[in-house]
Amino acid sequence: MYLPSFSLKGKTALVTGAGRGIGQAIAIGYAEAGADVVIVSRTQSDLEKTAQLIESVGTKAYLFEADVTNKDQVKGIFETLDLEQINVDILVNNAGMNIRSKAFDVSDEEWDTIMHTNLRSAFWFSQQAGQRMKESGGGKIITISSVAGHVALRTGVVYASTKAAIIQMTKNLALEWGQYGINVNSIGPWYFKTPLTEKLLADKEYLQDILDVTPQKRVGELPDLVGPAVFLASEAADYVNGQTLFVDGGMTIQGF
């Protein structure tokens, strides 16, 4: 009567940065929820591993070895999908990186690399997928931000600026595209153990600093993130738009 479906059966999702870490987990979780998954990253061997795991749960994987900072390659992905008549119903802009320089030390090249990878690529994929979703009657766009977009972290001003921009971009795209049946939302994780953070989390003192400001006193496990990602991609979130869901063990509410 009231419970909407959390299933992604019959849907096709595109996940950037799906070669490892959070993107790989979301791609596999979407497959477990029934979706076929288009997976994008620069490392073919990583993609092949993710594809094997997707197909082991019975759905299809479409692999694209591409650099999300290269506009021709981004457009090429969608042109190929058009030719193969594969519609993207769900887009997850996950690809991201960080160079943890102090503000005085940030070079123009570092600025460009972080901005282009984390922010501009998400906008390019959203434009390409959003245009097609408008024509097909709707879809879901989810971009991975970070608590760093909401509170100040010691892990770099440029990274934090991209994540804050993603939160605002999410609102603006939701404002423009809600009329087309497109839900645009963001997920803001706190620390999860992935290749991006492995070294940081191996430092016992640093890990203790993290736990001291985390009400749940643990870092995230990847299934903690996949659940919210499936929710936002499903019809259960059809009236959720322009929001950022922090998946952070309570970190962003930290009070005293």
Could you give the CA distance from residue 210 to residue 46 in angstroms, rounded to a whole number?
29
Which of 33, 66, 91, 147 contacts ligand LFPNKLMZ by CB under 6 A?
A: 147
Tokens 């457009």 sit on residue: 75
Which of 5, 43, 107, 254 contacts ligand NDP by CB under 6 A?
A: 43
Asked if 139 interacts with ligand NDP (CB under 6 A), we say no
Q: Which position among 30, 159, 180, 206 bears the catalytic label?
A: 159
Asked if 155 interacts with ligand LFPNKLMZ (CB under 6 A), we say yes
Amino acid code (one letter) for 220: G
| 98: nearest Cα among 183, 161, 49 | 161
Displacement of CA 141 from its chain's centroid (Å): 9
Least distance (Å) between residue 115 CB and ligand NDP: 12
Which of 190, 214, 220, 247 contacts ligand LFPNKLMZ by CB under 6 A?
A: 190
Asked if 125 interacts with ligand NDP (CB under 6 A), we say no
Which of 197, 214, 234, 244 contacts ligand LFPNKLMZ by CB under 6 A?
A: 197
Could you give the CA distance from residue 62 to residue 218 in angstroms, rounded to a whole number?
34
How many CB atoms are located within 10 Å of the residue 114 CB? 23
Least distance (Å) between residue 160 CB and ligand LFPNKLMZ: 8
Residues 254/151/30/65 CA torsion (nearest 10 deg): -150
Sheet holding 36-41, edge to edge: 61-65, 36-41, 12-16, 90-93, 139-144, 182-189, 244-247
Least distance (Å) between residue 34 CB and ligand LFPNKLMZ: 29
Catalytic, 239? Answer no
Displacement of CA 233 from its chain's centroid (Å): 11
Asked if 117 interacts with ligand NDP (CB under 6 A), we say yes
Taking the least distance from each CB to ligand NDP, the nearer of 32 and 235 is 32
Tokens 């322009």 sit on residue: 242
Asked if 144 interacts with ligand NDP (CB under 6 A), we say yes
Q: Which DSSP letter does residue 11 get?
A: -
Active-site positions? 159
Residues that bind ligand NDP (CB under 6 A): 16-17, 19-23, 40-43, 46, 67-69, 94-97, 117-118, 144, 146, 189, 191-192, 194-197
